[in-house]
Amino acid sequence: MQASGATLSSSVETAPGVAAALLAWYDIHARRLPWRRLPGQARQDPYRVWLSEVMLQQTTVAAVGPYYAKFLERWPRVEDLAAADDAEVMAAWAGLGYYARARNLLACAREVSRLGAFPDTEQGLRALPGLGDYTAAAVAAIAFDRPAVVVDANVERVVARLFAIETPLPGARGAIRAATATITPGRRAGDFAQAMMDLGASVCTVRAPRCLLCPLRAHCRALAQGEPERLPVKAAKKAKPLRKGRAFWIERDGAVLLVRREGRGMLGGMRALPDNGWSARGDGSGEPFAADWTSLGLVRHGFTHFDLELQLMLCASPEMASLAGENCSGEWWPVSQIETAGLPTVFAKAARLALAERGERGQ
């Protein structure tokens, strides 16, 4: 059962106490992250806040760190990113996943460059390309200290436990957002948002929450009920469908044929190995041209909504490989430098498989 109106109403009375306790904890325990200013320091550059928040969507802090540093080194200002070549940005993003984010990143940077600066309100930020409710709220709060309600997965968990919200996710998100609004302070909104994130990441964890160390334990209804780890309730996951396809390793003179995927859709705009498409029901058959094809094995990769089995096929005929290069709109990339091609993860896995097979064959 969802937390009742009376529960939320009574919690409003404790909102100042919740915010004060959390901010006092954050002043001491704030995580040191490359995109973050510590409590008491000047507000962060909105470009850096926005860049980090886009990268952190459905991605861990540990994975984002190197990418964030690489992007800032190459494109230190939003104007630099706006002027960047699409292919270079997509290659720099390779391996971070959810590639629509990279396309949205470019579109947003170009719009901000056209405007001359990031809007400083949640409404203005939401109007930018690719900025949803969460990212707009996060940038508004962290970069401009607007009292926006910022709810990511860590905050969902903290608030579901704090208010003992029983409705399963994702149905509980409306109640969680409403509850978060009751405790979001008018001042230090950016610190409060980051404090909630830190609390969920380091104390109010998915398993074995460290309730004795929690600055909000006196306010936590799930702790009072004796089972905080049970919340938030999550709906049972549905099994993901399996798709199958083939990718093709076509090599000549120490170089492999790469193609550029269409600008929109799955892995749009990325360099990749040629493939036959990923049929929702297909058997993975089909080759780009008639040749002696040898299977190098299967590459497995999980996407958000489906799993993929990609059979990697080797063109065993150098003559046919040359013909393929003449007939395909691609580029020959040095095999020895394949890691610099910026392949998305599934094709990087395929390349590693091909390189391993080449090593075993003494090529």
**Catalytic site residues?**
53
Pairing verdict, β 242-249 and 307-315: parallel
Query: Do 129 and 107 form a contact (C-beta atoms < 8 A)?
Result: yes
Contact 307, 300 (CB under 8 A): yes
Residue 319: count other Cβ atoms within 10 Å of its Cβ: 10
Neighbours of 111 (CB within 10 A): 18
Class of residue 199 by CB neighbours under 10 A (exposed 0-12, middle 13-18, buried 19+): buried
Is it true that the peptide bond before 34 is cis, omega within 30 degrees of 0?
A: no
Residue 254 to residue 48: CA distance in whole angstroms: 40
Q: How far apart are CA 48 and CA 157, in angstroms?
A: 26
Tell me the C-alpha distance between 113 and 155, whole Å: 31
Cα-atom radius of gyration of the chain, to the nearest Å? Answer: 24
Residues pairing with 279 in the sheet:
244
Q: Which of 77, 98, 99 lies closest to 90 in space, CA to CA?
A: 99
Q: For helices 46-56 and 61-74, give the axis angle rounded to 10 degrees.
A: 140
